[in-house]
Structure 1
Amino acid sequence: MGKILGYARISTDQGQDISSQKAKLEELGAIVVFCDVGNGSSLTGRDQLEAAIRLLEPGSELLALHPDRLARDTGDLLTIAKRIIERGAVLRIADPAIRFDGSDMMAEIMLTLFGMIGSVEKHFIKARQRRGIEAARQRGVYKGRPATIDPARIRELKEQGLGATQIAKAMNIGRASVYRVLAA
């Protein structure tokens, strides 16, 4: 049997700790654990997952504790699994126990099923978030993201004779933002 590489992910480092995932993966035989902090809804920005996949060799395996640590989407989960088997390696998930090497249709069905469950879970998370934001707005607590552009500074630079491109460069913002402020 080849080497076992572990993969752990938490959504945010604000109040979440990845150490328990790492410890369990090591207990299950991972010689090294790659860790990402970020949303499971997208494969974008998952540098450690990419690094782990690149290091896989024929006969080795990538181990994750749960399917949702890899992806919360059927397509993404199957994409990851297929990339792993293209390298001659195996995807192993600890809970539920799934071993995917591309030869077992039941393992692929299980991955598909858990990918769908992740998609539904992602939908419910977003729905709860939207309800929470709406409730906060109704209480007057939620005002949206704080403004990052100072309209007064844009007008001041315009009065000094600078054009939209020059203002955008001076303030490190997009030209469209300058036009929006000036049109308001």
Structure 2
Amino acid sequence: MRIGYRRVSTEDQNLERQELADCEKVFEEKVSGAKRDRPALVQMMEWAREGDEVVVHSLDRLGRDLRDLQGIVQELNDKGVCVEFLQERLRFSPGADDPLSRLQLQMMGAFAEFERNIIRKRQAEGIARAKAKGVYKGRRATIDAAEVQRLRAEGLGASAIASQLGIGRASVYRVLNGSYQASEAR
């Protein structure tokens, strides 16, 4: 069976650019490739069986971390599944050990990881500049510290407060021990 996997990083991005012809089943998601625990990826890995072929538009769609990328390809190959990257014209078959293909996977994967790190660095630099100018305020505070304190004064425990306010227990504890700052949620 020919199985496709398509991924973009955000909800507003379009998957259509990643054409995967002749796939009987396609797994799609709109989530960052920085982490391996992506729902559609996990489903695809579980779905694939010996003799299947997984088709991905490009290396960086499968993973942005070199170790994860290599691990995913190896795990699929160990199951008897072939992995093909269309843009790079790379194919990894179970039992076939092509040193040149492995080198290309490592190099291209390293570039994808490098690109991800550069993006994160630029984003952090932009936020720092905006904060210095007073332009960047972050997201709006989601925790009403006064309400947490009031509910605690009424005798409610951290779990009850968290449940009532729709926040995590750790957030309640940060407010109660004085380590919460409204700026961290802004």
What do the CA deviations read for 1:36-57 (whole angstroms, capped 9, x no partner)?
A: 111111111x221222222223
Describe the shift of the 1:160–1:139 C-alpha distance in structure 2 as closer, same or farther (beyond 3 A): same
The alpha-carbon deviation at position 94 of structure 1 amounts to: 0.6
Percentage identity across paired residues of the two chains? 36
Task: Spell out the pairing of 1:79-158 with structure 2 (5 A cutoff).
Answer: 79-101=71-93, 102-158=96-152
> Residue 165 of structure 2 aligns to which amino acid in structure 1?
M
What do the CA deviations read for 1:69-100 (whole angstroms, capped 9, x no partner)?
A: 00011101111101111111111001111011
1:58 and 1:175 mapped to 2: Cα distance?
A: 44
Aligned residues between the structures: 176
Q: Secondary structure at the match of 1:41?
A: coil
> Residue 40 of structure 1 aligns to which amino acid in structure 2?
G
1:36 and 1:139 mapped to 2: Cα distance?
A: 36
State whether structure 2 residue 31 is matched by structure 1 residue 25: no
Structure 1's unaligned 5+ residue stretches are: none
Corresponding position of 1:7? 5
- Stretch moving more, 99-108 or 124-133: 99-108
- Stretch moving more, 134-143 or 59-68: 134-143
Q: Secondary structure at the match of 2:20?
A: helix
Contact 1:36 1:48 in 2 (8 A): yes
The alpha-carbon deviation at position 161 of structure 1 amounts to: 3.8
2:97 and 2:169 mapped to 1: Cα distance?
A: 53
Corresponding position of 2:181? none
Runs of 4 or more consecutive aligned structure 1 residues displaced over 6 Å after TM superposition:
none
The alpha-carbon deviation at position 183 of structure 1 amounts to: 4.2
Describe the shift of the 1:110–1:174 C-alpha distance in structure 2 as closer, same or farther (beyond 3 A): same
Corresponding position of 1:39? 32
1:129 and 1:104 mapped to 2: Cα distance?
A: 38
Q: Secondary structure at the match of 1:91?
A: strand
> Residue 43 of structure 1 aligns to which amino acid in structure 2?
R
CA RMSD, 1 decimal: 1.9
Structure 2's unaligned 5+ residue stretches are: 179-186
What do the CA deviations read for 1:110-137 (whole angstroms, capped 9, x no partner)?
A: 1111111111111101011101111221
State whether structure 2 residue 45 is matched by structure 1 residue 53: yes
